[in-house]
Chain A
């Protein structure tokens, strides 16, 4: 039944989910914008980050260590993957890039399945953030509330890196024209490596932060990947603000539709995407001609 507190709590759910989607999508979008590679393994990286954090948590019992370990692990994985594989695909057609990242996604999923089985794993929220918090008209799980804050901080950090540092300036210039950046004497390939690492790191961070909300399964990345695609299409490829806006919109659509009828959540999400494609094909905050 739709009641005021129910509506509010769904609104918050949407915010939490949207913030997470925004974080994952911004990783996907800056990788695509800079490197020109659509990373189909991005959902699997989100999952992998969650599992890396789970392992760290099992070993130490500390949630903070788990977050740090999961994030750094994905940074390393991202850099390695870029060095070993993605690098050789810059000059190859988009289709080949899609195929190889798709293959990588399967490898990630199956490796995790091999070591951890298909059964779900869970990471409890840190003791400080367990329980529920009163928001006046309703009670809301404290950790979910915290997720919004944590992700907001992460997005802010990403914003600072992208818009307030030298590296960020190079990355943004690379999104506009990586050949030009290269010819200005900047080693654009090293930047690519860093960007891929940062993108993977964003996905991994989201994965471990999300772990206490939903339990971990090897194929959890797939659904997330599809959602991030919708986010990126809505927001505009290569646009960091677009990813954030698109993420929040998608989160709210899923959440509010689920309140009425969960079966239609995806249908509504898709309808929103179609609407954007019809009215503003380059995405809400995208630039025309960038593809």
Chain B
């Protein structure tokens, strides 16, 4: 199934052009349509923030109001004559304010983030009413916002109100959706989704997730600012209500109603909201009670139709057996195609026959030498309150080595890995990787240096496909930890597709590449977990129990995989499968009670009395002595 480039864009353009010719016959008022467009535009940015990046902000009103009032102030109070330029300045102002707000709000995630955005938005509301009321008109708002006009040389087109304003708003919406589609299909868009799915892993494969979250926040702010400015233009009046909590709430609800993570969801939600309002208020004569009906509908919707109307339609189509790939609904296409590597789709669908998994993953940096120390940890101590997980571990690994770590449960193996990859800071001690002191660095930076691990408990991007998962990891290596190619194309990143395919073959998931992770079998997930660590071609790879929970057949396959990837890189493997580990590793480190008990070749370890005692639960005193 080949992605037709610009299909969504074309369909959107056609729909936007058709609307003024069709909707009047259905009896809809032009002003309602215009309002829907403004809300839809506002929502595009919010959907990038919430639907794609997973950050639910209840404070978008602050940015909507900021953009609106900056533009309206310029046009009404400052005597600024250019409407479009004023709108752009408003947009930039909102983005700048968004950057500052984001710096504060993004210090925390999840629930905290939602609470902080609410609080910040409330501050903006009060500031508009009081300290800044001389500029913003306080509770009166700013009346007299002019509408734009376009000088064509021979005549001037005035966009005033109703259907004559529509083309201007539709054009703005179109530009907004085109940019948003590029953003969600870009590498940055892919990383946004990975942050939504699993921020911990997104950071661990080497992405500066704070930077990307801030980017999403600023993008959402810019859209909010533009929409706010258009609100003033549309109503010829900038209302102070733009700053209220209700504005943020309505945006959140419309996005949830329409379908998050679809870009068109907010537009659909706004249409439902505003038409329903007209219908309930005017036709059914419910008066103020319309909002109660809406609230109830909303609660039911959140309970039963999780992905909103667009998500519901998509599920329905899937249920009826209509191939969604036929894509007649622009909205469905938008979300489905967001992460695809558009032009390369064909090539990936039918990969050329290749010899079975050859370990030729490029590793970064200078060609590995077979000797020399790659990792040295000295005196690592980790305390969790009164519990000592690691009590002074000295640990050295040579370049090119495959080291096994064994030890009874609770010996401190996983904690050691966490410290080595800088996921948790050691209480004391020092870690040197390739001659560089990495103690206290972030997990992202360490991964960028070429040291990463696979997790004991799978940490995958669950709603993304296998290929998308690996793409995220490869992107971190090819693009560095932060790059703002939000309008770039995934297909244009050299080596991306090839490296993803290599990794796919290596972990033997080639025929599962388009399956979402949530539908994989456990063994496959486990291989993908290793694949994610492998995809960024680390020089030092840490594997935390890669064989855990696998069937005997899967174990054999995985041991083969580990053997094949060990060329050209250094690996440290924790596992409880002694037979496999003794077969794989050249040296074994045995850990017990937070310390290194012994270290040596597999044969030495097998016969070691201390080791046997540790595993059989020998008397502590004997081991200490």
Contacts and interface: CB of A to CB of B under 8 A. Distances in A.
Interface of A: 32, 38, 85, 88, 92, 94-96, 98-100, 102-104, 106-107, 109-111, 113-114, 118, 222-223, 225-226, 229-230, 232-233, 237, 261-267, 269-270, 273-274, 277-278, 281, 291
B306 interface: yes
B119 A277 contact: no
Interface residues of B, number: 42
B291 A270 contact: no
Nearest to B293: A110
Contact of B50 (A95, A262, A266): A95
Given A222-B245, A263-B131, A103 B118 contact: no
Given A233-B116, A237-B112, A274-B104, A96 B302 contact: yes
Given A96-B306, A103-B302, A113-B288, A273 B253 contact: no
Interface string B94-112: 0000000000100111111
B56 interface: yes
Contacts of B295: 103-104, 106-107, 109-110
Nearest to B256: A99
B307 to A, nearest CB: 11
Given A85-B303, A99-B302, A94 B288 contact: no
Main secondary structure of the interface of B (DSSP, over half): helix
Interface of B: 50, 54, 56, 58, 104, 107-112, 114-116, 118-120, 122-123, 125-127, 129-131, 245, 249, 252-253, 256, 288-289, 291-292, 294-296, 298-299, 302-303, 306
B289 A110 contact: yes
B292 A107 contact: yes
Contact of A226 (B54, B104, B245, B294): B245
A262 B289 CA distance: 34
B289 A114 contact: yes
A95 B54 contact: yes
Name which of A99, A100, A266 has the most chain B CB atoms within 10 A of its CB: A99
B116 A106 contact: no
Contact of A229 (B50, B118, B288): B118
B214 to A, nearest CB: 15
B108 A267 contact: no
A114 B253 CA distance: 21
Contacts of B249: 102, 106
Contacts of B114: 38, 98
A276 B120 CA distance: 14
A106 B119 CA distance: 18
Name which of B54, B122, B245 has the most chain A CB atoms within 10 A of its CB: B122
A114 B110 contact: no
A233 B256 contact: no
B111 A277 contact: no
A85 B301 CA distance: 12
Nearest to A222: B245
